[in-house]
């Protein structure tokens, strides 16, 4: 019970900080990969059970961040073949690893596609589990990952907050594919924050907007991130980004001539 209270307070403090200092258009999300023995919280939607359909992970994320739903997805709920492999629900068949899914679409050859597929973060079958997601304020569980979608300025704002206690830089990689694996798997495996470039599938199926990016942090960094957002705000790093207005405008020549006439008359 004490542990539940602690993580609930952390999520509440984080949610307040994100809404105060980042102001995203959609709900910040808590995401967890449940172990096999863990039980789902109450009032969680399952695509196959509740909608009679299978979805991609990115669809589930968009539903959760736009509708405010708690959603759980396992093998039986999942439609995307790339995510089935990445999240450890299906074996990595040669047809996939050889690059056939990228050949002619994302890469010039299958051999090049194999490099792209190898770069996708992956869970082993033993690491696989039900992917549970919910808005921060409605998460009845301790998450592995916090995910926030926003525009590039909002992501920049979160990068600044993350680096307040460490300095240095954040390193992220991009392939234009399988951003669900970057959001969940890469963040869990590296225990490091990630700037996420939404992939093509996230835009087609998850209907992520052109102006949106995402940012993830491991839950273990929650306290530092919350404090970092607060302190960088005090230091002057703000969102919305303030525009500098203390300058004298340069007007067309005819306007300037009229100003000169005013001065002459004075």
254 lies in some domain: no
Segment 79-104 mean pLDDT: 97
Segment 144-156 mean pLDDT: 98
What's the pLDDT score for residue 6? 64
Average pLDDT, the chain: 95
Distances (CA, A) of 58 to 83, 153, 239: 10, 22, 26
What's the pLDDT score for residue 242? 92
What's the pLDDT score for residue 37? 77
What's the pLDDT score for residue 28? 98
* Total number of domains in the chain: 1
pLDDT-based confidence at 36, cuts 50/70/90?
A: confident
What's the pLDDT score for residue 61? 98
Segment 173-188 mean pLDDT: 97
List, in sequence order, every residue forming a beta bridge with 214; answer none if it has no partner.
Answer: 149, 196
Q: Cβ–Cβ contacts within 10 Å for residue 9, how many?
A: 10
260 lies in some domain: no
182 lies in some domain: yes
263 lies in some domain: no
Would you state the structure tokens that stand for residue 16, as one six-digit string?
């307040």
List, in sequence order, every residue forming a beta bridge with 71; answer none if it has no partner.
Answer: 45, 133
High-pLDDT (> 70) share of the chain, %: 98
**Residue 2 pLDDT greater than 60, yes or no:** no
Burial letters 29-43, b for 16+ CB under 10 A, else e: bbbbbbeeeeeebee
pLDDT-based confidence at 1, cuts 50/70/90?
A: low
What's the pLDDT score for residue 211? 97
**Residue given tokens 């273990």 in the structure block:** 220
253 lies in some domain: no
- 236-261 tens-digit pLDDT: 999 999 999 999 999 999 999 999 99
- 197-228 tens-digit pLDDT: 999 999 999 999 999 999 999 999 999 999 99
Segment 47-73 mean pLDDT: 97
249 lies in some domain: no
The DSSP string of 13-64 is: HHHHHHHHHT--SS--EEEEEE-TTPPPPSS-B-IIIIIS--B-HHHHHHHH
61 lies in some domain: yes
Domain that holds residue 120: 2-239
53 lies in some domain: yes
């Amino acid at each position: 019970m004490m542990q539940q209270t602690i993580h609930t307070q952390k999520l509440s403090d984080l949610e307040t900080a994100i809404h105060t200092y980042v102001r995203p258009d959609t709900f910040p999300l808590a995401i967890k990969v449940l172990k096999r023995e863990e039980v789902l919280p109450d009032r969680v939607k399952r695509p196959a059970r509740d909608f009679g359909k299978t979805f991609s992970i990115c669809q589930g994320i968009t539903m959760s961040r736009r509708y405010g739903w708690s959603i759980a997805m396992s093998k039986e709920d999942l439609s995307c073949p790339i995510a089935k492999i990445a999240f450890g629900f299906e074996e990595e068949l040669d047809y996939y690893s050889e690059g056939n899914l990228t050949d002619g679409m994302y890469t010039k050859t299958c051999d090049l596609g194999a490099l792209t597929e190898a770069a996708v973060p992956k869970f082993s079958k033993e690491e696989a589990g039900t992917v549970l997601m919910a808005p921060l304020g409605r998460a009845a569980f301790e998450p592995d990952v916090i995910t926030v979608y926003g525009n590039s300025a909002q992501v920049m704002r979160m990068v600044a907050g993350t680096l307040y206690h460490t300095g240095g830089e954040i390193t992220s990689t991009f392939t234009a594919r399988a951003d669900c694996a970057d959001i969940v798997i890469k963040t869990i495996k590296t225990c490091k924050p990630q700037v996420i470039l939404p992939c093509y599938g996230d835009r087609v199926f998850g209907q992520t907007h052109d102006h949106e990016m995402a940012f993830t942090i491991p839950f273990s960094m929650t306290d530092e991130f919350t404090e970092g957002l607060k302190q960088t705000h005090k230091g002057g790093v703000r969102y919305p980004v303030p525009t500098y207005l203390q300058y004298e405008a340069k007007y067309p020549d005819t306007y300037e001539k009229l100003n000169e006439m005013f001065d002459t008359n004075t």
